[in-house]
Chain A
């Protein structure tokens, strides 16, 4: 009989092995970064531009422009475009970030030629037909109305407005009326200015065969390049710390956001703060989960996040909780924050969190597609995935005192904004 009282020995978590990425520059200066894995039969391409919300002249311009790229080109209708991708079993996805806008293609390598050509056509020859735009805007307005019915959405939007100020692009504030002000001319002008070789990067991964690289070269190397207009600078206008309420009288749960400005990826404190965040609310066994879900059953899930953007970061706790006990849940959150400031994290707990953190890094770099996603993000900060090896060393060195110092420095409850959305 096997002795089940003795846990099998646990090995230290391996350092991740990093895929070697390669670089290639096209004639117009566009950089292609790729991770080739011949064992795959699939490839993925991300083409990104400096066309995020940060640069848009009016709210929702960037996302509308991006999502309209497949609604018609000079040579093909929306339906023909969709038919080309669908026929080859390819997926195209659009991701509008704060600074970058990105269009992604995932396709079987044997269909590289037709799918990459169509992708390039969307990028280079898009038109913005009135009729398609109308449909898109109508559906987006409807989607917004659905979102406005969700307490989690209300709380999230109110929180970022309070952190950055309504006018700041990072607040991503928009209303129904903003959709009515979008015109084909507005999109066209933003598209011409932003979707071009300047600020463009191509990331390819999976089976990046010679044929894939050749297609990319042919499709993108003569894309024109022109300098951007001078960049606008935005000031943040944070609200004062304290309570903010969004009313939703019929809600059976209250959504909570508690937070403040966070710690950026390039800051010296980043690793230690991430570790601290994990202790509080960054994994299933976190203090918030243990207390508010597993002890008290007030929520299905509670977590904390440090969201880092190129120019700023914010940190928050998020949960949907039993409406009758929202105040109790907030009190417990603040109690857990204070505990981190007042008492060092016990060694055993810190060891557990370090293991979990290392496991998470290994997971973030698991396979060629994951490594490509991780690399894409790091390149925006002038880094690559060796960033993670540095983090692993820093994690190892963190002590309970370091974490307490982080809590004292970065998690002062008197600096926090607390948003609730639900019935009062």
Chain B
């Protein structure tokens, strides 16, 4: 059970505090409600590029990192399709340094051509390192636009192509900042060795004079129901083994569907006693790796099978093997023990995640963004409330061919 307080400042900033005296540090986590989903289709990759620019100095601070390091802190950030998250862990007596830095770059960023130019190059190298130079690195560049035709989830956070990043202008940077980087579009979550009242007082001190943006964001286009099977084969990849991906549309993060799907994915592939591992890796040896998981996006997400084939296995045979597991899942009973195992694993996973204050501050911010911060303590009961019957019905409805996008990712034939 995580104890927290939540307050909303007059300018719209949500401030969440959690005390953990088991650490000498405080984590200051600032979530901005902007991600790759908010980009224009012709200018993708921008939210992530912008995250890099946030470290390039602000109105009153030349060098963000210098001050973090001088105070013994550590900071980083990540961007996904739904949001951008910045965090600093810093020795508790220096927490104000983190609040000063974060509030300063919220109230005004130093915009410079030089910084933009360098970070464009850095991000292009990141694109190459993660997506082009790594085996299987570009799979999601193919799979997203296959599964999504309308929703902005159709492009990855890094962007559709290097060109979009290369063409970003300073004007784009400024517009983006003024729309999205404001207190009424952010959640400040503080966790660690600090009293809640003190944390709130310091948050007010540094953030309350920053004006809200009051930006009315356009509604995102929602993905229409998929009505026919989609398939794509990408040949000639320089990888040692063929791979297959099957993505099915599922519910959003707050829906019961999400919890049912997560349980399905656990029964299928969480741990070495799971069905896919035992049947397809150990027994039939069709795959060398296989996984089933949910993306967990805010808007309706994907249930994904991904597998790497063993040498000499025909990809059609491999796909049938997955199909067979799906059919078995729908037909065969789920034992009480199998379900209890998933519940136990979830309970343990939540207990492990509460060890770390940095994770706690990030999770508190995330659940607040979802619209229900209390959910952080209700996750376990949400899982428990899913009946075997719901699991079955969910699987039957979801695992239909017309709800599926299949990618065959084939190796180079030498």
Which secondary structure characterizes the binding site on chain A?
Answer: mixed
Interface contact A146-B239, CB-CB below 8 Å:
yes
A-B contact pairs, 11 of them (CB 8 A): A1-B209, A83-B341, A85-B273, A86-B272, A87-B340, A90-B348, A284-B65, A296-B121, A297-B119, A322-B128, A359-B71
| B interface residue count range (under 10 / 10 to 19 / 20 to 34 / 35 or more) | 35 or more
Is A149 interfacial (CB 8 A cutoff)?
A: yes
Which stretch (A11-19, A336-344, A403-411) binds chain B?
A11-19
Q: Which residue of A11, A79, A296, A368 contacts B93 across the interface (Cβ within 8 Å)? A: A11
- Give A90's nearest chain B residue, CB to CB: B348
Q: Which residue of chain B has its CB nearest to the CB of A353?
A: B69
Residue contact B134 to A150, C-beta cutoff 8 Å = yes
The yes or no answer to A10 lying at the interface (CB within 8 A) is yes
Asked if A424 CB lies within 8 Å of chain B CBs, one says no
Expressed in whole angstroms, the Cα–Cα distance for A8 and B205 within the complex equals: 12
Interface-lining segment among B213-221, B245-253, B280-288, B398-406:
B280-288
**Pairwise interchain contact A359-B272, C-beta atoms closer than 8 A:** no
- For the residues of B in contact with A, the DSSP-based class is helix
The residue of chain A having its C-beta at the shortest distance from the C-beta of B108 within the complex is: A4
CA distance A143 to B289 in the complex (A): 10
- The segment from A25-33, A56-64, A230-238, A249-257 found at the interface with B is A249-257
Tell me which of A11, A79, A138, A366 contacts B311 (CB under 8 A).
A138
Nearest A residue to B348, CB-CB: A89
Whole-angstrom distance between the Cβ of B310 and the nearest chain A Cβ: 7
B352 touches A355 (CB 8 A): no
Return the contact of A14 from the options B93, B130, B133 (Cβ within 8 A).
Answer: B93
Residues of chain A with a CB closer than 8 A to B209's CB: 1-2
Flag whether B126 is at the interface (Cβ < 8 A). yes
Cα–Cα, bound, A11→B93 (Å): 6
Is the beta-carbon distance between B60 and A5 smaller than 8 angstroms?
yes
- A108 and B130 CA atoms in complex are apart in Å by 36
Q: Are A252 and B133 in contact (CB under 8 A)?
A: yes
The reply on B355 being an interface residue by CB < 8 A is yes
Contact of A253 among B103, B129, B277, B355 (CB under 8 A): B129
Interchain CB contact (< 8 A) of A146 among B122, B240, B347: B240
Q: Is B125 an interface residue (CB 8 A)?
A: yes
* Cα-based distance from A137 to B284 in the complex (angstroms): 15
**B269 CB to closest chain A CB, in angstroms?**
11
| Contact flag A86-B341 (CB < 8 Å), given A352-B66, A355-B70 | yes
B133 lies within 8 A of A320 (CB): yes
Q: Does B255 lie at the interface of the complex (its beta carbon under 8 Å from any beta carbon of A)? A: no
Interface residues in chain A, defined as those with a beta carbon under 8 Å from any beta carbon in chain B: 1-2, 4-5, 7-8, 10-11, 13-14, 16-17, 37, 39-42, 70, 78-79, 82-83, 85-90, 106-108, 132, 135, 138-139, 142-143, 145-146, 148-151, 250-253, 283-285, 293-300, 320-322, 351-353, 355-356, 358-360, 362-363, 366-369
Can you name 5 extra interface pairs (CB under 8 A) apart from A142-B311, A253-B128, A360-B74? A4-B107, A37-B22, A40-B355, A79-B278, A367-B355
Q: Which of B65, B129, B270, B351 has the most CB of A within 10 A?
A: B129
| B69–A89 touching, CB < 8 Å | no
Task: Answer whether residue B135 sits at the interface, using C-beta atoms and an 8 A cutoff.
Answer: yes
B133→A251 contact, CB < 8 A: yes
> Do B351 and A355 touch (CB < 8 A)?
no
Q: Any chain A CB within 8 A of the CB of B41?
A: no
Residues in B with CB closer than 8 Å to A363 are 25, 74, 89
Q: Which residues on the A side are within 8 Å of B140 (C-beta)?
A: none
